[in-house]
Chain A
Amino acid sequence: MSLLKPFSKLPGLNSANVLLVESEEQFQQSLADRLVEETAFTVNVRLAKSLPLPLENDESRPRIDLVVFIINLTSELSLQSAEASLKYLDHRYFLGKVSFMVTNARNAKAPGERLDAVRKLAASLHCPLLFAEDQTPDGATNATERLLTILKVAAGLVPMATALYLSNLTRSTVVQDIDQPSFD
């Protein structure tokens, strides 16, 4: 099994590497264009449709600091592809170096069960769940800013903060109905 390992390579100086995994290969392109505009440090973006990644690129690939799975809620294939790709990540990635980004959550075509399934998945893996709007350039810019915040910590560029520490604060939770206060 060709697992992607987080600590098997040396980190680069003042740089952060992020892997965007998206089955449709649409939103990742606009996110990538905006991510590389960051000037404080170098951002290298790798784009993939699904894992596992081809072995030929293993040598030239830098150490990946953050893996983001982009899931389109209007497509079942998108969710299934992301779930299948999770198997190819080394378990140490799930200590704050994996994030889920979801698009089209407000779309009427997206069934509520799918969002619940993604929530449960993110909660069980202790990963943050971000919501993004992919139809407008503003939405992509917003998503990029939020992603950069998590990326900076995951790449070790923020002093006194580690990815594991941040993930404790940002991880997704599933609210149980029993915990909701009842108004009867």
Chain B
Amino acid sequence: MDESAKRLLQRLMRRIPTQTLPGALEKWARLTTDQQKSMDFTQSKWALTEKLLAICEENELSVRQLADLEMIHIIDNPDKGMWYAFQLVDPEDDAKSVELMQFKEQFKSHLKELVRNVSIKMKKHTDEAVWIRIAWGDTFSQPNHLKPTYVVHYLQTPYVFVTGITSKQKPLLSQALVLSTRYQAIKDANLSGRKLTAIRDLLMKKYQQVFPTKYPIPPPENNPNISNQHIEKEQAELAANRLQMAREAFGGGMLPQLQSAVYKLETKFRDHSNKTMTEREEPFRCVVKFTSTNLLESFRHCASSGIASTPVTPLLSCIPLKGRNYFVITDNGPGPSSQVCQPQV
């Protein structure tokens, strides 16, 4: 086993917590049953690393096989690291019929044409997602397995999620993706976050949607404590209206755990009490950032409890509507016009 493989294994052992290690090793299936049994998971991490290093030497495992282990771990724990969402635009006629084998071959061949030394692993997950792990090298050096890029693409949808990519590698990846999925271009979806599951559910609308109805069926009694006939709420109808509007804007049930939203304001300063600032011609630039453990749930609660006025302002409701969490607000006309102001990299 060479140096790079050893370093990769050590890094992996640092990242994978001891609870998930036995499961990951079993899925990896590169250890014989005897070797698996001989690993004592109550020892310290350092001791485990040494043991595993010895076993891998014995089995003569290479870097590529170790990369498999890393991929297994990341697929099972996708909520670490910063994920960015991209959207493919302008499909060709046969974009909808791209199937797995075709996509795999095309992507590998296109990327290998663009980059001399690159190591690609592709895996299909049970829920229609294709996971791609890319270790980048160049004409003079071997692929660097310590800084891989992970890409998740859902076939037949225009959505791609990427983590761990630098600005130099982005155009190469974009080119390969565009050619292999039969679209004409790829653009930034302005959605990023730490939890892949959250941004995926938000963009692909995989949560309960509530649609406006003229005669809403009252929701099932979720406050059993109000059943006492001596307690009566005076403003129950107003509260129910607010709740309905909040659910229409953000969705019902469990919401994707989005953790931040950023608004970049480039509007003119407006405050009648402050003449000096209002008289300036240039727009007043400021950035507003909302963070929370579950941002959409907080917004929905603000709207249903009356802290935020209903109907919900389009500035907030376009987060779930458009599936974005980065907005640039300028002064054109009434209401916010959010423009994609990303420098194309």
Interface residue ranges, A against B (CB under 8 Å): 19, 24-25, 29, 32-33, 36, 42-49, 53-54, 56-57, 61, 77
Contact = CB atoms under 8 A, between A and B. Distances in A.
Contacts of B233: 46-48
Given A49-B235, A53-B234, A77-B307, 18 more contacts: A19-B234, A33-B231, A36-B228, A36-B231, A42-B230, A44-B230, A44-B231, A46-B231, A46-B232, A46-B234, A47-B232, A48-B234, A48-B235, A49-B238, A54-B234, A54-B235, A56-B237, A61-B234
Contacts of B47: none
B345 to A, nearest CB: 44
A42 B233 CA distance: 17
19 contacts: A19-B234, A24-B305, A32-B231, A36-B230, A44-B232, A45-B230, A45-B231, A46-B234, A47-B232, A47-B233, A47-B234, A48-B233, A49-B238, A49-B306, A53-B234, A54-B234, A54-B235, A54-B237, A77-B307
Contacts of A61: 234
Contacts of B235: 48-49, 53-54
A54 B234 CA distance: 7
B239 interface: yes
A47 B236 CA distance: 9
Contacts of B237: 54, 56
Q: Main SS of chain A's interface residues?
A: mixed
Contacts of A45: 230-232
A156 B232 CA distance: 22
Contacts of A43: 230
B225 interface: yes
Contacts of A53: 234-235
A48 B239 CA distance: 10
B336 to A, nearest CB: 25
A57 B231 CA distance: 14
Interface of B: 225, 228, 230-235, 237-239, 305-307
A172 B219 CA distance: 44
Contacts of B239: 25, 49
Contacts of B306: 49
Contacts of B231: 32-33, 36, 44-47
A19 B234 CA distance: 9
B230 A57 contact: no
Contacts of B307: 77
Contacts of A48: 233-235
B234 A57 contact: yes
A155 B130 CA distance: 70
Contacts of A49: 235, 238-239, 306
Contacts of B225: 29, 33
A36 B235 CA distance: 20
A47 B238 CA distance: 13
A19 B235 CA distance: 12
A33 B238 CA distance: 22
B117 to A, nearest CB: 58
Given A36-B230, A45-B232, A47-B231, A54 B305 contact: no
Contact of A33 (B228, B232, B234, B305): B228
Q: Report which residue of A36, A47, A53, A77 has the largest number of chain B beta carbons within 10 angstroms of its beta carbon.
A: A47
Nearest to B228: A36
Contacts of A42: 230
A43 B231 CA distance: 9
A160 B307 CA distance: 45
A25 B305 contact: yes
Q: Which 6 A-B pairs have the closest CB atoms?
A: A48-B234, A36-B230, A32-B231, A45-B231, A47-B233, A53-B234
B337 to A, nearest CB: 31
A47 B239 CA distance: 12
Nearest to B225: A33
Contacts of A32: 228, 231
A44 B229 CA distance: 8
A54 B233 CA distance: 11
A183 to B, nearest CB: 45
A42 to B, nearest CB: 7
